Structure 1
Amino acid sequence: MIAILLLVVTALAGGLTVLLRTPGGTSRPAPAPQGDGQIDLAREVADYTSRFAPGRGYQPPGAADRQDIATAVGLLLDGHRKQAEQRLSQRDFAVRTVVDRPSGRHFAEVADRTDTAVTPRGWGRVYIDLDHRPNWSVQVPHPGFDLGTEQLGVRVLRGSPGGILVIAGAHRKAGVGNSADVAHRQDTVFHAICAELARRRMPGIQLHGFAASAAPGYDVVASTGAGSAGRPEGGELADALGGHGFRVCRAWVRPCPLEGRTNVQGQVAEADHVPFLHVEFSPEVRAGGRPAERAAAAIAEITGRWAREPVTD
């Protein structure tokens, strides 16, 4: 009997992905579309963050901007893409589906249309896994300042299914005062999105970097930020990092530098009783190569479990 291939069209987050259904019942994505949707996510993020610099490229958003963009991200997660696109368009944001060539995975990219303008607003970017139910986030608050954290974020996103990558849209020192320091400001688009994810009870890991002189003797400083909801995951992550050869300072065991107690995303996560991990990496780990691969593999031991656990209200 000749096997018949049936085309099954499945809606993912309001977008369409074509699956090839075989007689044995297994599915695989159809060949990815050609054209602008084909990207290398690492290169895309590198191009995006390469434009960041101190003293320029950031305009503080209004309350309505923050609320609408965060609400639209929530609509995408609920599968209401058209409504999300309409709301984002009102704030000069756009959504497109991209295929990350190295991983073969489909992502929804939520991007500020002013990114390439002469005066970008610097409100950030989001990548949402469309091939799996989103269950967790990796957050990069200081791209271009904590060098290499944006590329580590891409590695982490690729490392486990169901992830959401949230990247700040400007250098930490781009704005007036600390207005662009999204890890310590609640009036940013970055914070509004992360707070929406915490409200949905999605655990998150936030990536930072420290100077070698700030934590001598350590490769990583692991913390649960302002609270203790992520203590079990923190211990597991520290063990995994240690297993990969890193020297880890555990902030819940002993005083460590850069513990992230004042991190506002961690404060919101703790208020919602959602696991949050604040992790600082040395320059060597963030430089790429084998150290970054080992760090991402250790993190995947945690995010992989988050991906398997259903998000509960």
Structure 2
Amino acid sequence: MRALSQGVSLAATLVLAFLVVLTLGACSPRGPQEVDLEEMVSDFVAANPGEGEDHYRAPTAPEARALVEAVDLARNGDIGGAARLLGPLDHVVREVRDEATGRRLLLVTEQPVPSAPRRHGWGLFVVAPQADRGPLIEVPHPAADRQTELLGVDVFRSLSGSALLVAGAHRSATPDADVAHEPDTAFHAVHDALVAPGQTVVQVHGFDGDDHPRHYGDTVVSDGAHEGGPPSPTSMSLTSALEGAGFQVCLQHRDRCDRLAATQNLQGRSARAMGGQFVHLEVEASIRSDPVGRRRLADVTAFGLRED
């Protein structure tokens, strides 16, 4: 009888322990959702205002300030504070983990509304918490420069970038939607807030080789500065790495790539004014359309910029 009592007691203890484990597991905070960043960015771009659509609108000055503050709070770990600022803007902040790299990332973007077009089209801002000195990767012309958003993800991953900025509308969605040339955009406001002295900004663009001189080759590299000086050390380092890997490069100031030199690019001007390095990377369509080619170019780009 005593043995039976002890057995019952032991069974009860084990059941209680099991229930405690289940309870603790249910109450434990769930980790960041695992996502494929490339797939997420691709879906984001597909839902953006397209060419000639009128859904894009530029932010007001107070809206741009609130968005910038929210991105800064998110980058510094205050997700709740960022969410409170983003609510009135119809934007959200999400914590995810990129399944390809394992990196924890925070996404700031417009709150999607089922079966409705985006009302703002401001952009997708991906920040790596506490990594504010890493390279800043930018994609100002998604959809217009096809697959540049995917190449941007590859470069962001290869460089372990501090942030990835993807514009939220086709550059021709409205007359004021081109974020590389319009100052009053959310994209440019976030860029200005994130860029710091000594930081490298890599902006990814695309061109069709059939529409440009043959010597433009596979890639065009420029620092965005006007003629009159040598290429920047960063541009030269990247060019050396690309050419060493077999890519044909047109390097502005060395080869005359005027049509794709980015001398009017606002983010380039901002980065140089802040004491940063700006790299304007134009990539030919055949490379952008090939996943293997994109990843290879991204890896070589990361190698070249780390060597600088």
TM-score (norm 1): 0.80
Aligned equivalent of 1:272: 274
Give SS of 1:44's match: helix
Shift of 1:253: 1.6
Distance 1:196-1:303 versus aligned 2 partners, 3 A rule: farther
State the alpha-carbon separation in 1 of the partners of residues 168 and 106 from structure 2.
Answer: 17
Structure 1 unaligned blocks of 5 or more: 1-31, 307-313
Q: Does 1:249 align with 2:245?
A: no
Instruction: State the shift of 1:182 in Å.
Output: 0.5
Distance 1:234 1:93 in 2: 36
Q: RMSD of the alignment, in Å?
A: 2.4
Contact (CA 8 Å) 1:100, 1:106: kept in 2 or not?
yes
1:122 equivalent in alignment to 2:118: no
The aligned residue for residue 111 of structure 1 is 109
Instruction: Give the structure 1 partner of residue 222 of structure 2.
Output: 223
1:47-72 per-residue CA deviation (whole Å, 9 max, x = no partner) reads: 11112321223112111111221222
- SS at 1:255's partner residue? coil
Equivalent residue number for residue 61 of structure 1: 59
Greater helix share, 1 or 2?
Answer: 2
Q: Deviations over 1:121-163 (max 9, x none)?
A: 1000111124855522100000001001000011111112243
Distance 1:33 1:236, change over 3 A: farther
The residue number in structure 1 matching 2:77 is: 79
Q: 3-state SS of the aligned residue for 1:69? A: helix
Instruction: Report the alpha carbon displacement of residue 199 of structure 1 after superposing the two structures with TM.
Output: 4.4
- Alignment pair present for 1:232 and 2:229: no
Percent of pairs with identical residues: 32
What is the CA–CA distance in structure 1 between the aligned matches of 2:265 and 2:34, rounded to whole Å?
A: 35
Change (3 A) 1:48 1:214: same
Q: 1:90 aligns with which of 75, 85, 88?
A: 88
Which whole-Å CA distance do the structure 2 matches of 1:125 and 1:280 have between them? 21
Which of 188, 191, 211 in structure 2 is aligned with 1:191? 188
Alignment of 1:1-313 (within 5 A): 37-52=33-48, 53-56=50-53, 57-114=55-112, 118-120=116-118, 121-130=120-129, 132=131, 134-175=133-174, 177=175, 179-199=176-196, 202-212=199-209, 213-217=211-215, 218-226=217-225, 231-256=232-257, 257-304=259-306
Q: 1:116 to 1:195 in 2, by over 3 A?
A: farther
- Cα distance in 2 for partners of 1:267, 1:115 equals 35
Higher strand content, 1 or 2: 1
1:228-257 deviations in Å (ceiling 9; x for gaps): 898111111111111121111110223213
Q: Check whether the contact 2:239–2:304 (CA below 8 A) recurs between aligned residues.
A: no
Give the letter aligned to residue 252 of structure 1: H
Aligned-residue offset at 1:200? 6.2
Q: Is the 8 A contact 2:230 2:253 kept in 1?
A: no
Q: Does the 8 A contact of 1:244 with 1:294 survive in 2?
A: no
Tell me how many residue pairs correspond in the alignment: 272
CA distance in 2, matches of 1:67, 1:132: 21
- Aligned AA (1:262): Q
1:5 aligns with none
Deviation string, structure 1 residues 200-219 (Cα, Å, up to 9, x no partner): 65321000011212242311
Separation in 2 of the partners of 1:276 and 1:249?
Answer: 16
Higher Rg: 2
Deviates more, 1:206-215 or 1:182-191: 206-215
Q: Give the whole-Å Cα distance in 2 for the aligned partners of 1:249 and 1:100.
A: 33
CA distance in 1, matches of 2:130, 2:194: 18
Aligned counterparts of 1:197 and 1:184: Cα–Cα separation in 2:
18
Question: Is the 2:137–2:203 contact (alpha carbons within 8 Å) kept by the matching residues of 1?
Answer: yes
Q: Please say which of residues 71-80 and 256-265 is displaced more in the overlay.
A: 71-80
